[in-house]
Structure 1
Amino acid sequence: MIESLQARAIHLLWRLLSHCRLKTTWSLAGAASRVLYAVSRRERHVTRRNLEVAYPGDSSEQRRERVRESLRHSAATMLELGFAWIAKPARVEASVVEVHGRELLDNARADNRGVIVLAPHFGNWEVLNFWLSSHFPFTAMYEPPKIAELDAVIRHGRERMGAELVPTNPRGVAALLKALKRAEAVGILPDQEPDWGSGEFADFFGRPAYTATLLPKLVARTQARVVTGVARRLPDGRGFAIHFLAADDRVYDTDEVTSAAGVNACVESAIALDPAQYQWEYKRWKKTEQEQQKVPGYREQRLYSKR
């Protein structure tokens, strides 16, 4: 009963926000982020710890400002879900006012190769999904939400422009392979920690991060090209700029550790477009090599432990 009420309330909020101008949503994100900064110790703490790793040379004031900016962009992404999933397609399409690097996808398809789009949690990845599925045959993995009654809403929002969503299991991987062999585009998330046994440790901003190794498996079997794709939020709610960036050459290496290092370098290149737009609230360095190796007597303080 409670879950059903939550689903209805969230869906109603998305529908209301779908009518807002992006400038209004950005203003609301500013207010929401101030509340989040004040009351959510977890989000503030994790963001700060991640930024300490990524930008160790920052002063305390610089880091505090980065935390505030990151929380505002993360709030904006959540508030823009209604726009990306429910607003009229013409409005969403019109919000994409710049596209950079499209030739990377066009050239790959002209060579009859599939394209793997690495889509990190940067800017508004739902707008990126909308644009990709509007312009290319596009397949992406999908994991149902914790609130089951929102599944239909989210699926409709992501599939409405033609995207095919496949499960995050071997059947889904098989579907990605088939799409790539048809010279289509597929999207994978390069910056979420996989389950043990599905990744390798590779440096991310100089610290080992457990990184998924699905990419080299897909490349080896399909000879697909790899690009990084993001939808960067433009200032003051002016819309979005889509960026496609050439991948680090290491992503094509058959050695999974080397490929994982290339994947993380791709994510770093995307973040460099505007570091505040990356989702620093995620515990990217939660798993450790010592934990994996079950080092006897391992007592190193975890990165996210409260000081």
Structure 2
Amino acid sequence: MTQPTGNTSRLFSKASAISWLWRQLSRWPVTRLWRISSVLGPVVYRLNKRERWVTERNLTAVYPALSNAERHALAKQSLKHSTATMLELGHAWMAEPQKVETNILAVYGRDKLDNARTESRGVIVLAPHFGNWEVLNFWLSSHFPFTAMYEPPKIIDLDPVIRHGRERMGASLVPTNPRGVAALLKALKRSEAIGMLPDQEPDWGSGVFAPFFGRDAYTATLLPKLVARTQARVVTGVALRVPGKGFEIHFLEADERVYSDDDVQSATGVNASVEAAISLDPAQYQWEYKRYRKVVQEQQKLANYRDYRLY
């Protein structure tokens, strides 16, 4: 029998520890998880220089009118919410379904999904990294036939744990490749719902530059292709955290430009839709993601490139 290598053994141990922690946290009420986040969030802000730097850099770019004190305060709140999301993964993936459902305090805009299905149209749900998107996945897959793309985690031994958590209410996960795109098309043609991450930078060749808070960001172009072939409706969906209480699901009308057959116009509509969701509570957006990384790579000759070289 082949013995595990040192690296494999360490990864397995790390995966086991993370899975165990999620299981323990799944037993705790979200009120307690928020209190823990309120303690850990400031620690993350103080000690994690990378997360703090990227968060504040993004906030400077999108909210230039903020004072330094206001920006620092918003960055602290953002990292507190990001900490809460990490602690709540076990809740979304492993807690008793009734417990998760009970913590969803309200659902706004459900008619946007119901009306599309009444018209025999599929629904594309743009789900940005806002609030707790895993709770949104839980609700969607509990109430609609739901398909979403899935990329295995870097710690491969966590794959079955995460996959089971996301699929346990009936969601269908498909790979991030042409086979997965074909599965999304089939789901939409069956008048079902699919989920898309609108705020992750795609690989080169799979996107265009479009404004996001007035500054170009490399944005995926899969959406207009799906709309053109299926006439699907597009909505933005988020699970807004109500600190210490639970979550509210919000479905918002997407910006009309998402239906354009012009890739740049459609991508502009996608980013505007994400901006509208963020306006619900800017602190709940994951600002530590390097949303402008590729445009910085394209602007290396600008005079201020030295300020961005580590971004």
Query: How does 1:1-307 map onto structure 2 within 5 Å?
Result: 1-235=9-243, 237-288=244-295, 291=298, 300-301=304-305, 304-305=308-309
Which aligned runs of 4 or more in structure 1 are off by greater than 3 angstroms? 297-300, 302-307
Q: Which amino acid aligns with 2:12?
A: S
Q: Which whole-Å CA distance do the structure 2 matches of 1:173 and 1:268 have between them?
A: 25
Q: Which whole-Å CA distance do the structure 2 matches of 1:305 and 1:20 have between them?
A: 42
Q: Post-superposition shift, 1:289?
A: 7.3
Q: Post-superposition shift, 1:134?
A: 0.2
Q: Post-superposition shift, 1:192?
A: 0.3
Q: Deviations over 1:263-298 (max 9, x none)?
A: 000000000000000000000000117728xx8x56
Task: Kindly indicate whether the alpha-carbon contact (under 8 Å) linking 1:50 and 1:280 is maintained by their aligned counterparts in 2.
Answer: yes
Q: Deviations over 1:21-80 (max 9, x none)?
A: 111100111122121111111000000000001111001110010000000000000000
Q: Which whole-Å CA distance do the structure 2 matches of 1:142 and 1:241 have between them?
A: 24
TM-score, L = length of structure 1: 0.96
Q: Percent identity?
A: 66
1:228 counterpart SS class: strand
Question: Unaligned 5+ residue runs, structure 1?
Answer: none
Q: Post-superposition shift, 1:305?
A: 3.9
Task: Kindly indicate whether the alpha-carbon contact (under 8 Å) linking 1:285 and 1:303 is maintained by their aligned counterparts in 2.
Answer: no
Aligned alpha-carbon RMSD (Å)? 1.5
Task: Kindly indicate whether the alpha-carbon contact (under 8 Å) linking 2:296 and 2:305 is maintained by their aligned counterparts in 1.
Answer: no
Q: Which amino acid aligns with 1:275?
A: P
Distance 1:302 1:160, change over 3 A: farther
Q: Which whole-Å CA distance do the structure 2 matches of 1:190 and 1:181 have between them?
A: 21
Q: Which amino acid aligns with 2:248?
A: A
Question: Unaligned 5+ residue runs, structure 2?
Answer: 1-8
Q: How many residues align?
A: 303
Q: Post-superposition shift, 1:304?
A: 4.0
Task: Kindly indicate whether the alpha-carbon contact (under 8 Å) linking 2:82 and 2:284 is maintained by their aligned counterparts in 1.
Answer: yes
Q: Which whole-Å CA distance do the structure 2 matches of 1:48 and 1:94 have between them?
A: 35
Q: Which whole-Å CA distance do the structure 1 matches of 2:60 and 2:104 have between them?
A: 32
Q: Post-superposition shift, 1:229?
A: 0.2
Q: Which whole-Å CA distance do the structure 2 matches of 1:223 and 1:131 have between them?
A: 24
Q: Which whole-Å CA distance do the structure 2 matches of 1:13 and 1:188 have between them?
A: 28
